[in-house]
Amino acid sequence: MGVFSRFMDIINSNINSLLDNAEDPQKMIKLMINEMEDTIIEIKTNCAAAIGSENTAKRKVAELESLIDRWQKRAELAISKGRDDLAREALLEKKKLTAELERLKEESDRYDALVKKYKQDIAQLEEKLASAKAKWQAMREQAAKEAEQRAREERNARYSYNYSWSKAKEEDPVDHFSKMEERINKMNERKAQSEAEKDTEAKFKDLEEQEEIESELEKLKKEMNG
């Protein structure tokens, strides 16, 4: 794949979308970073070559402009001396050099445009590379935090297990059984007390309900006899 094709693929790529669909996002973004860095190096190499060619073309343009000026002055000199034949030859050389000058100027302009395009591409790639590196760093930090959290949870789990096992070994089996029996007895006592309290509460509710009914009955009788 050519450097231009790789450049377009990188610029048009959506990093977040690629990472969402990647089996290993960290590995994927690292490969993308490597590809960007390689592409930047290649474009910078091409840019340096284009700058060299542009400078060469500009130097030749300056040389040709000097030669054209020289043949122009020779033609004028020949005319002043009555040598129209030499003047014609001088003007012919000037014409050839002028045509070459125009070609070199066009070439220099093309290199200038190419250098500007390379620099623009490099700026875009470096911006995309910086974004990818920032995302990669964030992913590494997040992975480190998650690993640290898992390690902390594992340490806590081991400590809790070891502590419970140590306490169980330290406690005498007979004492342990006695404590359990005592706890069961207390639970049964609380249950019996609660049931007794509920039974007493129910009896009083029945009395209160009967009294309310008797009162309502007496009231109704008075109204009917009244």
Alpha-carbon distance of 11 to 124, in angstroms, equals 8
Q: Does the predicted model carry a pTM greater than 0.85?
A: no
Determine the pLDDT at residue 2.
54
Instruction: Please tell me the number of Cα atoms within 13 Å of 75 on its side-chain side.
Output: 15
- Look at the chain and count its residues: 226
Angstrom CA distances, 79 to 39, 71, 76, 95, stand at 59, 12, 5, 17
Contact by Cβ (8 Å): 65, 175: no
Q: State the pLDDT at residue 133.
A: 87
Q: What pLDDT does 1 receive? A: 46
Determine the 3-state secondary structure of 69 from DSSP. Answer: helix
Closest CA to 36 of 108, 111, 105, 135: 135
| CA 110 to centroid of chain Cα atoms | 37
Per-residue confidence (pLDDT) for residue 103, from 0 to 100: 94
Q: Would you say 43 and 118 are in contact if contact means Cβ atoms under 8 Å apart?
A: yes
> In this predicted structure, what is the pLDDT of residue 178?
65
Q: Using the 8-state DSSP alphabet, how is residue 81 labeled?
A: T
Digitized pLDDT (tens) for each residue of the chain, 226 residues in all = 455 455 455 555 556 666 666 667 777 778 888 888 888 899 999 999 999 999 999 999 999 999 999 999 999 999 998 989 999 999 999 999 999 999 999 999 999 999 999 999 899 888 888 888 888 888 888 878 888 888 888 877 776 656 555 555 555 555 555 666 676 677 767 766 766 666 777 777 777 777 777 776 666 667 767 6
DSSP letter at 152 equals H
Tokens coding 119: 């620099």
For residue 4, what pLDDT is reported? 47
